Amino acid sequence: MSINSMIFITAFLPVVFVLDRLCIRNIKLKNILLLLASLVFYAWGEPVYIVLLLISVLLNYGIGLLMGRLLDKHATGSENSAAQPTSASQPKSGYQPNSAAQPLAARLVLAAGILCNLGILGYYKYFNFLLRILNRLLHQEFEMRDIPLPIGISFFTFGAIAYLFDLYRGHYKAEKNLVDLALYMAFFPKISVGPIARYKDFGVQLKSRTETLEKTSEGIRRFCYGLGKKMLLANIIGSCVDKIYGQDINNVTGLMVWCAALLYTLQIYYDFSGFSDMAVGLGKMFGFDICENFNYPYLSGSIQEFWRRWHISLSSWFRDYLYIPLGGNRRGKIRTYLNLAAVFLATGLWHGATTAFVVWGLLHGFFMIVERLGFKKILDRTKVLKYGYTLVIVNFGWVIFRVANLGPSLQYIKRMLMPWKYTTGTFALQELISNRCIVMAIAGVLGAGLIQTLIKKVPALEKLKGGVAEMLYCMLIVAASMLLLVNGTYNPAIYLNF
């Protein structure tokens, strides 16, 4: 099931929402209801992999309890040893659970937990990728396996690792309520396409949260906007992108490739941010505040800024659980650059087990390093340069990302760099790009931050938010989106494959 499908919008969501409200203020009963609903949601399309999700929940629950006992035991011992100061004038120095002096046993348990989670993810996502590498290195012909990728495995696995890591750091005690931990990992608005929520933010809300009329209405509006982003912008624009990339590469002109690249830049943003908006909106409808995942990334003036605005939950995850543990920028410039390269290598691999995704990640990492070397200062001298540079790099990256095959993607980029050499094609451009796509693309450009910036500067427009006009606008969005769903134009999320 998907949160933009007819069955979800017309049946699943209304039923779960009403049942949730009938639970009144019994938070434990609400959590049980939402967990059962989340398991049904996940099992709807992949009943077999519900077992994998439950195994992951039980595994992390058990590892968390074990680590919690070790940390509590160490904390008690530290407090007892600190209870006898050397002189009356010295204050007691109790144990700090988030200090670096954690017991070796807890570190080993953390390492085991991370390896188990990565092992599950690695088997389903990277087994054949590693097998292909071995075949090339050893000149063997190991047989590939048909291993379908479970929905949301990257998202709930990274969420589980964050839970264990922050538990080890002492941000909270181990979760003893299995239902609460399971709901954190399986909550249906975010399990399939994110965002990657942190337990230190989400766990508190499992114990206490409020469901107000204002929060619910805000959540409904947010869901409507997200649905419109996906159905009216991403899907319509994406249909034309598919037509261009569906042509034989020898029949594609340089102008067509540029159009496809720019349109895909809009498609992937509205597809992914649309699902993130729907997740945030659904969370608010059930009393949760889910972390934001986008902040108008195409307004960025550098690759550094782009990754502070794009897929925020993933970039911050890699910062906190890979970049900083590797040393961050605290061990000299060379080490900082190596750490950045490692982070973006991992970012590429997270998105897909192909050399194309690795190159896409390293491309962004390379320009992050170049900007740190001093290019950022040059960019800041003129807005035209910094915004133009960022748009070009991001666009070239999206070509590699969309094609997902390094050889052909480089051929497309070659046509972009030398469009005058490729001017003839089988179809005219207007045969591949519809008028409806052009209208939606213009709306997409304006909606990627330009309109929002204007609204903030005009108080009269800001006052329309939450009023009757916006309510009617949201109703129109939902009606148009539902019409497209009824006509069979449903498309799954791009990030559903990651």
Mean pLDDT of 159-166: 96
Mean pLDDT of 314-320: 95
Q: pTM to 2 decimals?
A: 0.90
> At which of 209, 224, 256 does a domain end?
209
Q: Is 419 exposed, middle or buried (0-12, 13-18, 19+ CB in 10 A)?
A: middle
> At which of 172, 193, 209 does a domain end?
209
Number of folded domains that form the chain: 2
In a domain, 348, yes or no: no
Closest CA to 230 of 12, 495, 488, 493: 493
- DSSP code string of 452-471: HHHHHH-HHHHTTTTSHHHH
Q: Is the pLDDT of residue 490 over 80?
A: no
In the chain, the amino acid numbered 290 is: I
Q: Is the pLDDT of residue 95 over 80?
A: no
pLDDT in tens, 454-464: 888 777 776 77
Do 440 and 237 contact (CB within 8 A), yes or no?
yes
- The per-residue pLDDT of the chain, averaged, comes to 88
Q: Indicate whether 391 and 456 sit together in one domain.
A: yes
Q: Is 377 exposed, middle or buried (0-12, 13-18, 19+ CB in 10 A)?
A: exposed
pLDDT in tens, 273-302: 999 999 999 999 999 999 999 999 999 999
pLDDT for res 83: 52
Cis peptide before 459 (omega within 30 of 0): no
Q: Is 270 exposed, middle or buried (0-12, 13-18, 19+ CB in 10 A)?
A: buried
Do 64 and 167 contact (CB within 8 A), yes or no?
yes
Instruction: State the CB neighbour count (10 A cutoff) for residue 339.
Output: 21
Q: Is the pLDDT of residue 216 over 50?
A: yes
Residues of the chain with pLDDT > 70: what percent? 94
Mean pLDDT of 377-406: 92
pLDDT in tens, 138-156: 777 777 787 888 888 999 9
> CA 401, CA 213: separation in Å to the nearest integer?
41
Q: Indicate whether 306 and 423 sit together in one domain.
A: yes
pLDDT in tens, 27-52: 999 999 999 999 999 998 778 889 99
In a domain, 161, yes or no: yes
Give me the active site residues, please: 351
Q: Indicate whether 113 and 247 sit together in one domain.
A: no
440 versus 144: the higher-pLDDT residue is 440
- DSSP code string of 255-309: HHHHHHHHHHHHHHHHHHHHHHHHHHHHHHHTT--PPP--S-GGG-SSHHHHHHH
In a domain, 87, yes or no: no
Q: Is 313 exposed, middle or buried (0-12, 13-18, 19+ CB in 10 A)?
A: buried
pLDDT for res 489: 58
Cα distances from 66 to residues 108, 156, 313, 333, in angstroms, run 11, 20, 27, 38
Q: Indicate whether 196 and 226 sit together in one domain.
A: no
Q: How many residues does the chain have?
A: 498
pLDDT in tens, 75-89: 777 666 555 444 333
Cβ burial 166-200 (10 Å sphere, 16+ → b, else e) = bbbbeeeebbeeebbbbbbbbbbbbbbbbbbbbbe
- DSSP code string of 205-237: HHH-----HHHHHHHHHHHHHHHHIIIIIIHHH
Closest CA to 362 of 379, 342, 332, 337: 342
Q: Indicate whether 229 and 316 sit together in one domain.
A: yes
The set of residues, in sequence order, having a beta carbon less than 8 Å from that of 17 and lying 6+ positions away, is 285, 286
What domain range includes position 290? 214-332+372-497
The set of residues, in sequence order, having a beta carbon less than 8 Å from that of 125 and lying 6+ positions away, is 149, 153, 154, 353
pLDDT for res 39: 95
Q: Indicate whether 243 and 303 sit together in one domain.
A: yes
Q: Indicate whether 190 and 296 sit together in one domain.
A: no
**How confident is residue 350, by pLDDT bands cut at 50, 70 and 90?**
very high
Cα distances from 383 to residues 219, 274, 299, 367, 389, in angstroms, run 35, 28, 11, 18, 10
Coil vs helix vs strand at 331: coil
Q: Is the pLDDT of residue 211 over 80?
A: yes
Q: Indicate whether 287 and 258 sit together in one domain.
A: yes
pLDDT for res 188: 94
Do 364 and 347 contact (CB within 8 A), yes or no?
yes
Q: Which two tokens stand for residue 129?
A: 């990728």
Do 273 and 294 contact (CB within 8 A), yes or no?
yes
Closest CA to 115 of 159, 156, 166, 161: 161
> CA 393, CA 289: separation in Å to the nearest integer?
33
In a domain, 327, yes or no: yes
Looking at the chain, the number of H-run helices and the number of E-run strands are: 24, 0
426 versus 16: the higher-pLDDT residue is 16
In a domain, 62, yes or no: yes
**How confident is residue 426, by pLDDT bands cut at 50, 70 and 90?**
confident
> CA 477, CA 78: separation in Å to the nearest integer?
59
> CA 193, CA 152: separation in Å to the nearest integer?
6
Q: Indicate whether 202 and 229 sit together in one domain.
A: no
In a domain, 351, yes or no: no
Q: Is the pLDDT of residue 61 over 90?
A: yes
In a domain, 352, yes or no: no
Cα distances from 284 to residues 221, 278, 416, in angstroms, run 10, 10, 43
pLDDT winner (highest mean) among 36-50, 83-97, 298-312, 422-436: 298-312
**How confident is residue 498, by pLDDT bands cut at 50, 70 and 90?**
low
CA-based angle 257:259:262, to the nearest 5? 105
> At which of 209, 239, 267 does a domain end?
209
In a domain, 200, yes or no: yes
Q: Indicate whether 176 and 247 sit together in one domain.
A: no
Q: Indicate whether 153 and 218 sit together in one domain.
A: no
Q: Indicate whether 243 and 103 sit together in one domain.
A: no
Q: Is the pLDDT of residue 365 over 50?
A: yes
